Structure 1
Amino acid sequence: MNEKNRHEILVGLHVSDEAAYARYREAMTPLLEARGGFFRLDFRVAEVLRGPDSRVNRVFIISFPDQATMDGFFDDPEYKQIRAAHFDPAVESGGVIATFSS
C-alpha cells in the first residue's frame, strides 16, 4: 500500500456505546479497505487535557488514497446506511480535528 501522497483526517469522538461503535467499525472497514483506505492510528483516550470537548475518548487517523476517494467513501449509500445503524447511536459528539496530506 502506497503511504505517500495520501489524504488523511484526524478525528476525535465521544463514543458513548462501545459495542455499537465496534459493530460500526466491523461493518464499515471492508468498504474502507475496498477503496484503499485504512486506519493509520487508533487510540482510546483516558483524559483530554485541552480541547473544545473534554469528553473525547477515541482519536484516530483515517487514510485515503486521495480527496476524491474519501468523498466517494463518505457519500456511498451503503456507508450511509451503516453509519445510521451503528455510528449515530454509538457516538455522542466529535468530528474532524484536521485534514492533511502525507
Structure 2
Amino acid sequence: MAYERIMGLDVIDDQEYQKYREAMMPILKSFGGSFGYDFRVSEVLLTKTADNINRVFTIAFPNQKQMDDFFSDPDYLVVKEKFFDKSVKSKTTISVHETEL
C-alpha cells in the first residue's frame, strides 16, 4: 500500500517550477516518495475551487508519516521557498487516499 495525493496547481512560471522539481527530487526520493502521473491541462470542466488549475499530478509515499515528514523537512522547505512559492499561484488537494503501487 501507498499513501497518495492527487494535486492541482496553478503554475505561473514553468521554468521556475521545473527548477523546483529538479531540486526537490532527491529529497522526495529520500523519503520514499515518487510521482505517478503528471499532466499539463488546458481546460478544467468541473471544479470545487475558485483557483485556476493548469497542472495535475499524483505524488505517493509509503505511508502518511513519510509524506508528512517530507513536507515539513527543513531541506524541502528551503527548496519550496526558493522555487515553488515564486512559480505556483495556488494549489488544490483533489484527493488523498491509500492505493496500491
Q: TM-score, normalised by structure 2?
A: 0.93
Q: Distance in 2 between matches of 1:30 and 1:66?
A: 18
Q: Which residue of 2 aligns with 1:46?
A: 42
Q: Which residue of 1 aligns with 2:72?
A: 75
Q: Distance in 1 between matches of 2:93 and 2:24?
A: 18
Q: TM-score, normalised by structure 1?
A: 0.92
Between 1:34-43 and 1:49-58, the stretch displaced more is 49-58
Does the CA-based 8 Å contact 1:48-1:54 persist in structure 2?
no
* Aligned-residue identity in percent: 44
Deviations 1:25-81 (A, max 9, x none): 000011111111100110000111111246210000000000000011001000000
Which residues in structure 2 correspond to 1:1-102 (within 5 Å)?
Answer: 5-51=1-47, 52-53=49-50, 55-102=52-99
Does the CA-based 8 Å contact 2:51-2:90 persist in structure 1?
no
- The alignment of Structure 1 onto Structure 2 pairs a total of residues equal to 98
Q: Distance in 1 between matches of 2:11 and 2:50?
A: 12
Give the aligned CA root-mean-square deviation in angstroms: 1.0
Q: Distance in 1 between matches of 2:64 and 2:50?
A: 27
